[in-house]
Structure 1
Amino acid sequence: MRGNKLKGQVPHQLQNLQLSVVDMSHNSFSGSIPRNFNVSSLRELRLHSNEFMGSVPSYLFKAKGLQVLDLRHNRISGMILNTIGKTSDLGVLLLGNNSFQTHIPEKIFNFLSKSRYETYQGDILRYMYGLDLSSNQLSGEIPVEVWDLKNIISLNFSSNRLIGSIPDCISNLKSLESLDLSNNKLHGNIPPQLADLNNLGYFNVSYNDLSGEIPFKAHLVTFEATSYIGNDQLCGLPTNKSCKTSKEFEKQFKEEEEEEEGDGVIDMVWLYWTSGAVFISTSLVLFASLCIDSRWSREWFYRVDLFIHRLQSFKGRFVCK
């Protein structure tokens, strides 16, 4: 039923059929997502590009045989279900808008990984794990169960209303290659444990309320400033914003000023001591030279006697007059 102009709610008669593949995408179906689909034989459920609202029914995550759930580009709201982390057979979960492109009936998936699309087809789909919740109206915190999806390759929670912080246990996702948390209301620091995800090739936390210093180390140095824009409280590389506050700058300025003043005082004391030492040394050398009977000392005393004699003669003439 893909690609028609069907609207309204999904007929309940259709929900009761034992089907393996249901594709109702690219229509105008509205209302809530059907809550009584017969999932005993259901392998693929494609409802993307409609106008479904409300939350995702929890029974869909508990379906043993369901491998593909595609609910992208709808008006899904509410909180992310904790049961997501308990899914076993579900390999391709598409609840977002742009990260996956599906081609029917060939069952080919172009999977976004490390900023490029990789094509998955046939049996390899059993080993491809992706979770895309982007471009909806999801709220609340990301459940901790999500961070237990150790085989997940791509996570896309962008363009929602998610709050809370990025937990340290994100380091459990050793296979993660693409992480997009942009355009939410996440706060707190960026955990340095992200540096432990050696496969991470795409990372975006722009336009949140994150703060603190960016853990710019290991392979995280490969991400540009565009991965962090829109977070006014983030600082450090690769941004040009220093992590020092105005108070710290003022304290550093005062310390430098006091250090310069201290250096000035030390310089003046050194000048006084140096001048005194030079004066004393010169006086001692001159005194020692005069004590030695030499031509220079005799000439010196002769000049001194001559000066005294002339001074006395001048004084005598002045008194007589």
Structure 2
Amino acid sequence: MWRNSLRGTIQLAYLPGKMETVNLGGNQMTGSLNLDSLPATVRELGLRSNEFTGEVSLENLPKCLEYLSLAENQLSGTICSTCLPPALEDLHLQRNNFEGSLDFTRLPESMKRMYLNRNRFSGTIDLGNLHESMKVLSVRENALSGTVRVPEQMYRKFNEDLGSCCFWGNNDLIVERV
């Protein structure tokens, strides 16, 4: 259903109970999203590039969810990154209006990619407990501050130009390789 000019709202509670993949990205869907009502079987949820609004909770997602993209909407609120499902590998929240602090100290071990750029996240971040599975972390163009210490093993894993690639646009943030 990607890019089919679909309009209107979606009630995720009415998805079939055995649904595993939902991709409604690139449409013109509106309204709020209640992710708490997703069927327990959903592994992939793609709702990027729509016009969804309001606050979203990531605290009660299906435990088997591996991929979540809510990028390029008008979503807001804070994100509890310590409550993500254990199977989650990819999280795309870029280009929204999310705010608040980011806690990377208890991410799922399965997490490989997190795109949190172009939001309003603020405060300091701690990368000391990132798992070896993490391949991409983008927090560009937010309002992060302080000093972020990037462990040597993570620094090598990410792009060599880490400061401009992953952290660019956070004017009060200093990136230190440790």
Q: Name structure 1 gaps, 5 residues minimum.
A: 96-132, 218-321
Q: Hey, which of these two has a bigger chunk of helix by percent? A: 1
* Structure 1 length-normalised TM: 0.46
Evaluate the alpha carbon distance shift between residue 36 and residue 163 of structure 1 in structure 2; reply closer, same or farther with a 3 A threshold: closer
Is the 8 Å Cα contact of residues 58 and 83 (structure 1) preserved in structure 2? no
Q: Aligned residue for 1:138?
A: 98
Q: Aligned residue for 1:69?
A: 68
Question: For the residues of structure 2 that align with 1:74 and 1:67, how far apart are their CA atoms?
Answer: 20
Which is higher, the Rg of structure 1 or of structure 2? 1
Q: Aligned residue for 2:45?
A: 45
Question: For the residues of structure 1 that align with 2:176 and 2:23, how far apart are their CA atoms?
Answer: 43
Q: Percent same amino acid among aligned pairs? A: 25
- Alpha-carbon distance, 1:162 to partner: 0.9
Evaluate the alpha carbon distance shift between residue 40 and residue 206 of structure 1 in structure 2; reply closer, same or farther with a 3 A threshold: closer
- Alpha-carbon distance, 1:59 to partner: 5.6
Question: For the residues of structure 1 that align with 2:114 and 2:67, how far apart are their CA atoms?
Answer: 16
Matches within 5 A, 1:1-321: 1-11=1-11, 15-18=14-17, 19-35=19-35, 37-58=37-58, 60-61=60-61, 63-84=62-83, 86-93=84-91, 95=92, 133-145=93-105, 147-167=106-126, 170-175=127-132, 176-191=134-149, 193-197=150-154, 199-202=156-159, 203=162, 204-210=166-172, 215=176
* Aligned positions, number: 171
| Structure 2 counterpart of 1:23, one-letter code | N
Question: For the residues of structure 1 that align with 2:46 and 2:173, how far apart are their CA atoms?
Answer: 38
| Structure 1 counterpart of 2:68, one-letter code | L
Q: Name structure 2 gaps, 5 residues minimum.
A: none
Evaluate the alpha carbon distance shift between residue 29 and residue 183 of structure 1 in structure 2; reply closer, same or farther with a 3 A threshold: same
- Alpha-carbon distance, 1:8 to partner: 1.7
Is the 8 Å Cα contact of residues 48 and 72 (structure 2) preserved in structure 1? yes
Is the 8 Å Cα contact of residues 9 and 30 (structure 1) preserved in structure 2? yes
- Alpha-carbon distance, 1:137 to partner: 1.0
Q: 3-state SS of the aligned residue for 1:72?
A: coil
| Structure 2 counterpart of 1:180, one-letter code | S
Q: Hey, which of these two has a bigger chunk of strand by percent? A: 2
Is the 8 Å Cα contact of residues 4 and 27 (structure 1) preserved in structure 2? yes
Evaluate the alpha carbon distance shift between residue 46 and residue 216 of structure 1 in structure 2; reply closer, same or farther with a 3 A threshold: closer
| Structure 2 counterpart of 1:92, one-letter code | D
- Alpha-carbon distance, 1:45 to partner: 2.2
Q: Aligned residue for 1:271?
A: none
* Structure 2 length-normalised TM: 0.77
Please provide the CA RMSD for this pair. 2.8
Q: 3-state SS of the aligned residue for 2:151?
A: helix
Question: For the residues of structure 1 that align with 2:157 and 2:151, how far apart are their CA atoms?
Answer: 8
Q: 3-state SS of the aligned residue for 1:171?
A: coil
State the Cα deviation string for residues 141-188 of structure 1 (Å, max 9, x = none).
00244x544443333322111111122xx1222423333222111111
